[in-house]
Every structure is written in C-alpha cells, then in structure tokens.
Amino acid sequence: MNQGRLLNIVDIEATCWDGKRPPGAVSEIIEIGLTTVDLDAGERTGRHRILVRPARSTVSPFCTELTGLTQAEVDTGVDFATACRLIAVEHAGGRRPWASWGDYDRKQFTEQCRVTGTEYPFGHRHTNAKAVFTEANGLARRPGMARALQVAGLPLEGRHHRGEDDAWNIAALVLQLNDRGAWPSA
C-alpha cells in the first residue's frame, strides 16, 4: 500500500487548576490525542489516544470539568516516558512531520521531556496549524480550535478539550487548508 505524505496531528490535555496552581504541583500531560492524516489522499487515516499517568500532580475538579478526565482514569495510563516511546515507535514521531493547534503542545512536550530526562518523541518539523489557519483566512486574531471550525464551516466532532477529539478536529482543519493549497509542503 502506498501511503502519501503522512502528518501527525497532536493535541494534549494536561493537569490544570481553576486559579492558582497548588504548591509543588506542575502541569503534566495526561492525555495525548494523535490523528494521522494522509495529505495526498486528503483523509484522516488513524485516530489514537494515549492516557498518561501524572507523576507530580493530580487531576483537579476543574480539570475533570474541562476535559472529562478523572484521576482514576489517568491512573490507568502509562508513564510519560512510555507515552513518548509509543509516539516515536508506533507513530514514527521522529520521522514524520507533526502539527498542533498553537505552540502550547510543542512547548509542553519540550519542557516535560527536559524536566524528566525523557527523549523528545518528535522531529523538528512542527507546524503551528493555528498560525497557518489565521494567515490563510486573513484573520486579525488567532482563533481557538472551536472557533476555527465555525469559520471553516466544519462541525465540532466529540468533546472539546479532549485530546483525541481535538486532534481529530484539528486534522479536519488541516485537510481543508491542504485542499485549498494553504498547508505548507514539507
């Protein structure tokens, strides 16, 4: 089977709090949503979810309200280093270009890898899909993903602020940009 230009779309959810962060707590990745798209075929070819067990923080009630993720659910996940290995091995993370909505996901991975001594699972070919969308649509301000879907005339599929669903929705935006010739070629 000939696969075209594959791209990983990544969206993470991390521990968060309403207001001030509790003393000693850090923001840690608790869910990695990853949708693979074939840019040549113009389709989403894989939808993946990796739950990650936080090591230095817990899921707050605010975080559960926002993401739907509970402490009990993320406790069933893998540790961060294992999650990074899964991305690198099962999703060609180091070889395949990747994109996220904004720079938050890239920065969170970079920082968490640095702090934990974990090997970074991605290569250097990252695209900020929010910036591409903003420029392609001539917008003055960078919209959130849900607003971008409205601008693009696309439905929000699944639950907003759920990594797996958000990656799926971002992939739809990327494919629409690619169809219009607005997605950068690698």
Give residue 70's domain range.
Answer: 6-179
Residue 76 forms part of a structural domain:
yes
For residue 42, what is the domain's CATH number? 3.30.420.10
- Is residue 81 over pLDDT 60? yes
Q: Is 101 inside a domain boundary? A: yes
Q: Is residue 104 part of a domain?
A: yes
> Residue 33: inside a domain, yes or no?
yes
| SS3 assignment, position 40 | coil
* Distance (Å, whole) CA 146 – CA 169: 9
Percent of the chain with pLDDT over 90: 96
Between CA 27 and CA 80, with CA 156 as vertex, the angle to 5 degrees is 25
Identity of the amino acid at 85? R
Per the structure, the count of domains in the chain is: 1
Instruction: Report whether 109 contacts 14 (CB < 8 A).
Output: no
Q: Is 186 domain-assigned?
A: no
* Statement: residue 119 has pLDDT above 70: yes
- Indicate whether 1 pLDDT > 50: no
The rounded distance, in Å, linking the Cα atoms of 182 and 43 is: 16
Q: Is residue 42 included in any domain, yes or no?
A: yes
Instruction: Provide the pLDDT confidence category of residue 3 given band limits of 50, 70 and 90.
Output: low
Q: Is residue 184 part of a domain?
A: no
**Residue 185: inside a domain:** no
Q: What is the mean pLDDT of the chain?
A: 96
